[in-house]
Amino acid sequence: MKITSIIGMALMCLSLVSCGGAPQTPAQETPAATTEPTAEPTLLDTMTVEEKVGQLLFVRYPEQSELEGLMDLKPGGVLMFARDFEGLTRDEVTAKTDNLQSMSDIPLVIGADEEGGTVVRVSSNPNLAPEKYKSPQDIYAEGGMDAVVENAKEKSELLLSLGVNMNLAPVADVSTNPDTYIYERSFGKGYEETAEFISKTVTAMRATGIYSVLKHFPGYGEVTGDSHKGEVRNSKSADEIRATDFVPFKAGIDAGTSCVLVSHNIVEGLDSENPASLSPAVHDILRNELGFGGVIMTDDIDMGAVKDIENVYTRAVNAGNDLLIVTDYNGAYNQLLEGVKSGAVSEETLDNAVKHVLEMKGLMD
């Protein structure tokens, strides 16, 4: 055997001995630990308690001297009445609504009641519309459902052009009796016909991009009293209400309405003690039985039926409302803020309400 071969074999043996055996394969690297990505905070997560409380308020447009003070509270919205449009040109109204939005860090709901007929906040001004809009009841009598739908689109487009992004309409109450309080504002037909009117109107309003509001849940009924002035009671049974008054509201919910406005009437079949607007039982039905996931708002809390009730604002939020129509915005804000701080209104209740408002505004993506 050659000397070079012997030396090579010896060196190989020494190598094996020094390594403790056969050559080892390289050690495998341990993969680095992975972490779940952190979810981006939502607007709700970044808001102060004070800002959240402000978002619950849908405030009647105040005197000009009070406007800056109101906007400091960061309200959820501003509701404009006929006096706020009176005598103004289209450009002046647009400047007014643009100014409101510019004063708010969070986009505002700017609303008006433009039902047609007896409730016309905008078209009562001849500078804004050639004539007052007729009621859906009268339009239907003249031109059928197609004319009603076309009118809903026309009203929506007018309001949006003025910077008004919510119409507190359509009226889903049913009345066929001219002697009842709500008849002139209703469709004037039965439950199924009213349901068709509501479904098609809500669909038309959604197509234009305006927020719609079904009112006045759970249905005004065939009563003669006016809750603007004082207590009103509806004596219908729960079964009768479900079979009748709920029908148009369910149609509007299924069509995708943005909001449902709850009346101050005491509907004895659902809650014999509390006005509907302050009744957890009524709101539970709206959420869990009728499946409404949008914004629930009160009727105007300055109305005679509820304005003198103790802790009315905190009761309204605890009942399940997300937006409160108010005139005394300072009183409402202070009572609600104190309610949250004292625990009378839970943070969970507050957050749920604000979340619904922000979702409607498209701010919870």
Which residues, in sequence order, are CB contacts of 252 under 8 Å at separation 6+?
170, 172, 198, 199, 202, 212, 214, 260
The b/e string for 50-86 (b: 16+ C-beta within 10 A; e otherwise) is ebbbbbbbbbbbbeeeeeeebbebbbbbbbbeeebbe
Whether 331 maps to a domain, the answer reads yes
CA distance 313 to 321: 10
Provide the 8-state DSSP code for 365: -
Whether 23 maps to a domain, the answer reads no
Cα Rg for the chain, rounded, in angstroms? 31
Whether 17 maps to a domain, the answer reads no
Whether 318 maps to a domain, the answer reads yes
Phi, psi of 14 (to 5 degrees): -60, -40
CB 298 within 8 A of CB 316: yes
Cα 333 to its chain centre, rounded Å, is: 18
Which residues, in sequence order, are CB contacts of 264 under 8 Å at separation 6+?
227, 232, 275, 276, 277, 298, 299, 303, 305, 306
DSSP for 333-353, please give it.
HHHHHHHHHHTSS-HHHHHHH
DSSP for 266-335, please give it.
EETTT-SSS-GGG-HHHHHIIIIIS---SEEEES-TTSTTTTTSTTHHHHHHHHT-SBEEES-HHHHHHH
Question: Per the structure block, which two tokens stand in for 30?
Answer: 């341990």
Output the pLDDT for position 37.
63
Output the pLDDT for position 26.
44
| Residue 226 belongs to domain with CATH number | 3.20.20.300
Whether 18 maps to a domain, the answer reads no
* Closest of 93, 111, 101, 110 to residue 71, by C-alpha: 101
Please tell me the total count of domains within the chain. 1
Output the pLDDT for position 23.
38
Whether 22 maps to a domain, the answer reads no
CB 148 within 8 A of CB 201: yes
CB 143 within 8 A of CB 153: no
Residue 308 is part of which domain span? 55-360
CB 114 within 8 A of CB 155: yes
Whether 28 maps to a domain, the answer reads no
* Closest of 282, 253, 283, 258 to residue 270, by C-alpha: 282
Those residues of the chain that have pLDDT short of 50 are 1-28
Instruction: Confirm whether pTM is higher than 0.75.
Output: yes
Over residues 304-351, the pLDDT tens digits come to 889 999 999 999 999 999 999 999 999 999 999 999 999 999 999 999
Question: Per the structure block, which two tokens stand in for 2?
Answer: 């050659």
CA atoms lying within 13 Å on the CB side of residue 189: 19
Whether 38 maps to a domain, the answer reads no
Which residue is associated with the tokens 């625990």? 343
CB 214 within 8 A of CB 252: yes
Provide the 8-state DSSP code for 184: G
